[in-house]
Structure 1
């Protein structure tokens, strides 16, 4: 069974750009996104893990790190390649270096034997790149059709094999609007995945999406639109107990050089969390004089660039470990600690 702490374990990424992908989506350039031109081989995994762990000091109560296979579709790799990676992971797990692995994969093209293989290999989590549940959007993005029922079955099958199911969504693909995004979110909430990653659609050089944009056939969302849409998703996930692992792509010089259009910001996730707190602050009754948040959420509460400072005037804040992260607790009798 996957560890309940796997969502907070340190991740050691192993990028396999486009590996296992039988087609290329119009927005995708994994070599740029992962800044990886030459993928790692299974024989080099131990050295890769050692290099990562040597530069990082773990907290006493922190779970063992997890190897994460990203950038491709792990479940669609040739069976012999999957087994090579699993053997490399097993050796590190046996020696106490890692606690297992997670991976990302497409929702289509799953073979029945893969589920049992991942279960026996102590795979902690599989994140499915769904992007959208709107069939027109998927078709425009160059992805094969897949029904909500098929996705639900896949997620449930992962659970039955003791693997935590995660979902990855992308806002702003061609054909996207408020209604299609909300429909995708409602579908996602109904599936009840354990985790979610949110990405805005970015126009990268050399992709088919760039060609559409230059021809005037695609207009990416603005940064404000993307932040608001992803904040909507973040709020809903918080209410449903779904952990948002990340919002936005990891910043890198290579990525910045390849972005030609779209709602890019190096602190995209922080903008979303700031917006979520701003909405809660605006909804406070006027008589409230004290609020409580989790101690690790103070920065997000204040907001990126202190964007929420105007709404905190006159309020006092209590740091409370018991408050759910992402939420504000308020009651007039709260003890008051000045920020």
Structure 2
């Protein structure tokens, strides 16, 4: 609760509200285990944040913020009113009155737990809303707030084609910011029961990386940004992972996979890159690829002197769009 996270150079102070405001429990969810956090006391938060001047945003994560009683929402948002806020919530817990409360509470960003736009996936994951509910909430929210869409792959009844169609529709709706992670089976969840009964099979790590690599290229080739890849699990909570494609450096696995896919698909011989991308180029098996590697000052990656983004758009046009046409 008291650690500052830096996301895209923005210093964010996260406050976890495990399951608070949630009126239902999804098949994969056990927030107390997943975050390792207890519900914070209001007066403790006030004292912790009273003199903090090194943060850009306060973020309320882990529950359904807009499902809280309105007086509780207002009280939480009153903490350090000078600092912008971001909240996470569900698509079916938003209306005009709630949005007015958020606006008056200095909320700038709403992270929306979309997970999927396939109604079968939503139903069997017990999200208790539909694709149309999601689209309605996005249209309502994005007039006044920055929207971040949270997506999960590997949910019950999910397929890679459904994942790509979800990305396509959200991009068409004007969503530009995404967080994507694979489904992990945690202890004491309904998904664990399904897994133990042989009724659910999680994705392999290799398949999860491949699918999210393609989703990431799709997002970025159409001007979007993936702000986080993979699921953060505190060390103290890793013991509760039962199954699934968890990796502590999942994001780097995806980025390395994208480079490898492009190099192999387009027979690339030379790669130029800024040193901050070195792990993408040379880690997780990519060091074995025969390439002329050169560091450059520019904040870019060039494949045979052509910008990386040109190749991801080409890949999406030639292969990804064919899968969902």
- TM-score class normalised by the smaller sequence: 0.7 to 0.9
What is aligned with 2:176? Answer: 194
| 1:35-74 superposed matches below 5 A | 35-36=36-37, 38-49=38-49, 64-74=55-65
- Count of paired positions: 301
Is 1:118 matched with 2:102? yes
| Cα deviation code 1:278-337 (max 9, x no counterpart) | 122224455x54x33344212222223xx211225333332312x3xxx545428xxxxx
What is aligned with 1:212? Answer: 194
Closer/same/farther in 2, CA of residues 159 and 294 from structure 1, 3 Å limit: farther
| 1:297-312 superposed matches below 5 A | 297-304=277-284, 307-312=285-290
Give 5+ residue unaligned stretches, structure 1: 59-63, 94-98, 333-339
Q: Contact conserved, 1:34 with 1:71, CA < 8 A, in 2?
A: yes
What is aligned with 2:14? Answer: 13
For 2:217 and 2:49, locate their aligned partners in 1 and report how far apart those are by CA, in whole Å: 35
Range with greater deviation from structure 2 (214-223 or 173-182): 173-182
| 1:88-103 superposed matches below 5 A | 88-90=79-81, 93=82, 99-103=83-87
TM-aligned CA deviation for residue 134 of structure 1:
0.9
Closer/same/farther in 2, CA of residues 191 and 6 from structure 1, 3 Å limit: farther
| Cα deviation code 1:102-126 (max 9, x no counterpart) | 1110000323211112122221210
TM-aligned CA deviation for residue 66 of structure 1:
1.0
For 2:124 and 2:113, locate their aligned partners in 1 and report how far apart those are by CA, in whole Å: 16
| 1:242-321 superposed matches below 5 A | 242-285=224-267, 288-289=269-270, 291-304=271-284, 307-321=285-299
Give 5+ residue unaligned stretches, structure 2: 1-5, 307-325
For 2:141 and 2:158, locate their aligned partners in 1 and report how far apart those are by CA, in whole Å: 29
For 1:85 and 1:116, locate their aligned partners in 2 and report how far apart those are by CA, in whole Å: 15
Q: Secondary structure at the match of 1:89?
A: coil
What is aligned with 2:305? Answer: 331
Is 1:76 matched with 2:70? no
TM-aligned CA deviation for residue 266 of structure 1:
1.1
Is 1:160 matched with 2:160? no
TM-aligned CA deviation for residue 143 of structure 1:
1.4
What is aligned with 2:27? Answer: 26
- What is the CA RMSD across the aligned residues, in angstroms? 2.3
TM-aligned CA deviation for residue 213 of structure 1:
0.6
| TM-score (norm: length of structure 1) | 0.82
For 1:128 and 1:65, locate their aligned partners in 2 and report how far apart those are by CA, in whole Å: 20
Q: Contact conserved, 1:196 with 1:245, CA < 8 A, in 2?
A: yes
For 2:152 and 2:7, locate their aligned partners in 1 and report how far apart those are by CA, in whole Å: 23
Q: Contact conserved, 1:202 with 1:261, CA < 8 A, in 2?
A: yes
Q: Contact conserved, 2:16 with 2:39, CA < 8 A, in 1?
A: yes
For 1:263 and 1:133, locate their aligned partners in 2 and report how far apart those are by CA, in whole Å: 22
Closer/same/farther in 2, CA of residues 185 and 172 from structure 1, 3 Å limit: same
